[in-house]
């Protein structure tokens, strides 16, 4: 079982939330037609998206966005679920479920980036 | 001319008398008191009983309830003691808001129907009387006393003096005004959903002893509240601070403790502790 103190988890929660806001803002700014030099609909075409994934800096940005939002979101879900019932089985179950779901989502998202780069 | 003045005077006297009479009449108005009735031991469903109670400008809700109990139905269960907002016994939900019945005047409610219900988030014993066992259990869990090995009185001749500056006292004074009436606990939405959540009262007490520079158990106090169902389950609704009859701000205490837990706050207490120690050495 993860032996982090609740205050340590909440510190990660706050920091991941603020950091996610920053990376999402950067992501949105990069998607602006002024920056990409093409219409928004064209930037979402298959080749352009794959090209984005192949850009190392952009891939790092997307990966960090995925990790930060997954951590923040699943911890938020854990907090909500903890308040439904108060017993050890439920509490441990919720912690394991959210941890596994978070890792699964990050793994699936990372796989997409790897496949786009011909590594999958 | 004199007769005219007399007529004028008698008119003003009459108006004055009429005004006085209407004032007295307005003071002696009758209100409808709706009292929540439930006796879990009898297994009957809950209902409201309605009583017509004469009140005056200074009548409190507790006075009205005691009138109903004294003259209309002696089976109403109420808990009260000091009648001056010191003991915290007569907490109840009055017209939807947790308040002390002895500290709430009928005139300030400004409604003709006054509904009295037991405090939410507490199990009901009977009518308006609720069970405070869990509440006091949470309070006890915060170790509401000063931990200081030097404060143990072993030898009366070597009593230690713990000097506190007015600034040191200011840090926790507000939280020490708590009378354990349970109004904040009943107003807290987190307590309503999470039975293990200590509640605003207990957390405010945790802050009160944490902020006291005579206390040495800084880390263990933080460990007590730093659990899955501890201080982090407060959603900062702020209703605890709104209903407190003694002007305590539990929400502020909770946020300050949180700041210390995530190391965002400057630990003033540590500074105070080291200052006391250095003074002791001198």
Using one digit for the tens of pLDDT, what is the confidence trace for A59-109? 999 999 999 999 999 999 999 999 999 999 999 999 999 999 999 999 999
pLDDT exceeds cutoff 50 at A1: no
Rounded CA-CA distance B117/A116 in Å is 64
Residues of chain B falling short of pLDDT 50: 1, 275, 280-282
Dihedral of CA B176/B182/B188/B190: which sign? positive
Of the two residues A113 and B263, the one the predictor is more confident about is A113
H/E run at residue B97: strand B97-100
Provide the shortest C-alpha distance from residue B186 to chain A (in Å).
17
0.80 exceeded by the pTM?
yes
Query: Quick one: pLDDT at residue B266?
Result: 61
Instruction: Determine contact, residues A53/A59, Cβ cutoff 8 Å.
Output: yes
Helices B199-210 and B218-225, packing angle to 10 deg: 160
Q: A119 falls in which pLDDT band (50, 70, 90)?
A: confident
Q: SS3 of B268, please?
A: helix
Task: Please give the DSSP secondary-structure letter assigned to residue B131.
Answer: -
ipTM of the complex: 0.83
The residues, any chain, with a CB within 8 Å of residue B33's CB and separated by 6 or more, are B50, B51, B52, B53, B64, B65, B68, B114, B116
**Token couple for B52:** 């017509």
Rounded CA-CA distance B268/B273 in Å is 9
Query: Quick one: pLDDT at residue B232?
Result: 95
Architecture of the domain delimited by A6-116: Up-down Bundle (1.20)
Which member of A5, A14, A86 has the closest CB to residue B196? A86
Q: Can you list the alpha helix ranges (DSSP code H) found in chain B?
A: 2-27, 61-67, 106-109, 133-141, 166-173, 183-187, 189-193, 199-210, 218-225, 239-243, 250-261, 268-281
Query: Quick one: pLDDT at residue B282?
Result: 35
Chain Cα centroid distance, residue B38: 24
- A37-42 mean pLDDT: 84
φ, ψ dihedrals at B140, nearest 5°? -60, -35
Query: Quick one: pLDDT at residue A31?
Result: 85
Give residue ranges of A with CB < 8 Å to any B CB.
5-7, 10-11, 14, 79, 82-84, 86, 91
Query: Quick one: pLDDT at residue B240?
Result: 97
Q: A12 falls in which pLDDT band (50, 70, 90)?
A: very high
CB contact under 8 A, B232 and A79: yes
Rounded CA-CA distance B268/A107 in Å is 44
Chain B residues touching A5 at Cβ < 8 A? 226
CB contact under 8 A, B262 and A10: yes
Q: How many CB pairs under 8 A join A and B?
A: 32
What domains can you pick out in chain B, each with its CATH number?
Answer: 25-130 (3.10.20.30), 133-281 (1.10.1060.10)
Q: A7 falls in which pLDDT band (50, 70, 90)?
A: very high
pLDDT per residue as tens digits for the range B60-78 = 999 999 999 999 999 999 9
CA atoms within 13 A on the CB side of A116: 21
Q: SS3 of B129, please?
A: strand
Q: Is B52 left (phi over 0), alpha (psi -120 to 50) or beta?
A: beta
Closest by Cα among B100, B110, B116 to B65: B116
Rounded CA-CA distance B8/B13 in Å is 9
**Token couple for A79:** 């907090």
The residues, any chain, with a CB within 8 Å of residue A74's CB and separated by 6 or more, are A98, A99, A101, A102, A105
Instruction: Determine contact, residues B261/B226, Cβ cutoff 8 Å.
Output: yes
Task: Give the Cβ contact number of residue B40 at 10 Å.
Answer: 11
Of the two residues B47 and A52, the one the predictor is more confident about is B47
CB contact under 8 A, B261 and A86: no
Query: Quick one: pLDDT at residue B270?
Result: 53
CB contact under 8 A, A7 and B261: yes
Q: A42 falls in which pLDDT band (50, 70, 90)?
A: confident
């Amino acid at each position: 079982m993860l032996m982090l103190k609740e205050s340590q988890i909440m510190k990660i929660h706050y920091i991941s939330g603020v950091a996610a806001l920053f990376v999402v803002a950067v992501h949105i700014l990069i998607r602006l037609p002024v920056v990409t030099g093409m219409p928004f609909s064209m930037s979402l075409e298959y080749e352009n998206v794959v090209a984005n994934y192949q850009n190392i800096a952009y891939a790092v940005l997307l990966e960090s966005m995925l990790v930060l939002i997954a951590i923040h979101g699943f911890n938020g879900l854990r907090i909500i679920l903890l308040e439904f019932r108060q017993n050890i089985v439920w509490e441990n179950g919720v912690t394991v479920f959210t941890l596994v779901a978070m890792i699964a989502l990050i793994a699936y998202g990372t796989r997409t980036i790897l496949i786009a780069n011909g590594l999958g | 001319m004199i007769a005219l003045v007399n007529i004028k005077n008698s008119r003003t006297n009459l108006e004055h008398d009429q005004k006085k009479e209407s004032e007295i009449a307005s003071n002696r108005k009758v209100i409808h008191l709706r009292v929540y009735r439930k006796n879990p031991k009898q297994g009957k469903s809950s209902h409201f009983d309605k009583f017509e109670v004469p009140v005056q400008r200074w009548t409190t809700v507790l006075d009205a309830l005691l009138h109903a109990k004294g003259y209309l139905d002696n089976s109403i269960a109420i808990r009260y003691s000091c009648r001056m907002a010191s003991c915290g016994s007569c907490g109840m939900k009055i017209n939807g808001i947790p308040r002390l019945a002895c500290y709430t005047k009928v005139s300030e409610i400004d409604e003709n129907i006054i509904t009295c219900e037991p405090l939410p988030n507490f199990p009901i014993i009977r009518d308006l009387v609720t069970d405070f066992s869990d509440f006091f259990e949470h309070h006890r869990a915060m170790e509401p006393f000063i931990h200081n090995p030097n404060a143990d009185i072993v030898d009366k001749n070597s009593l230690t003096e713990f000097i506190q500056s007015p600034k040191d006292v200011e840090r926790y004074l507000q939280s020490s005004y708590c009378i354990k009436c349970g109004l904040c606990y009943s107003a807290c939405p987190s307590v309503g959903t999470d039975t293990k959540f200590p509640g605003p009262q207990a957390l405010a007490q945790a802050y009160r002893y944490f902020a006291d520079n005579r206390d040495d158990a800084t880390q263990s106090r933080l460990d007590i509240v730093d659990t899955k169902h501890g201080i982090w389950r407060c959603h900062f609704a702020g209703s605890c601070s709104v209903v407190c009859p003694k002007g305590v701000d539990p929400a502020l205490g909770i946020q300050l403790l949180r700041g210390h837990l995530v190391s965002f706050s400057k630990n003033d207490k540590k500074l105070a502790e080291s200052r006391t120690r250095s003074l002791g050495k001198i």
